[in-house]
Amino acid sequence: MPAATSPDRAGPDEAPSTHFPRSGQRAREPLWRHVLGEQLRWLRHERGQTLIDTATRAGVSPQYLSEMERGVKEPSSEMIAAVAGALDTTLIDLTSGVAERLRTIRCMAASGPRCRAAYALAA
């Protein structure tokens, strides 16, 4: 994924996450819908689209798209495909991005900053 251009448009890997445990707590894996929402919002911002632009292109309401991006809704595969199309991406690219973000979160929770540096070097 391209590097983020500003702090308010951080890519999914740079986005602040509440999924990391405090000391002494066990890491909790994030829900898929939350990571999907982060990915959708990042893609939308990367493409310079507003919520209304993307929702109109996808044939969904802006409220529904907002709920998807916030991880409130568990969207159907048809809805995910519609939004992916509106963002000029494929389902495989979108879901691969979500899976990679989940791997990164797991790695960071298990190994801390050292693992994140390894991902940065691999890129």
End-to-end CA distance of the chain: 9
30-122: CATH class: mainly alpha
What pLDDT is attached to residue 4? 39
SS3 111: helix
- pTM, 2 dp: 0.69
Query: Tens digits of per-residue pLDDT, 44-75?
Result: 999 999 999 999 999 999 999 999 999 999 99
Domain residue extents for the chain: 30-122
Q: Are 30 and 16 in contact (CB under 8 A)?
A: no
pLDDT for residue 6 is more than 90:
no
**Amino acid at residue number 65:** L
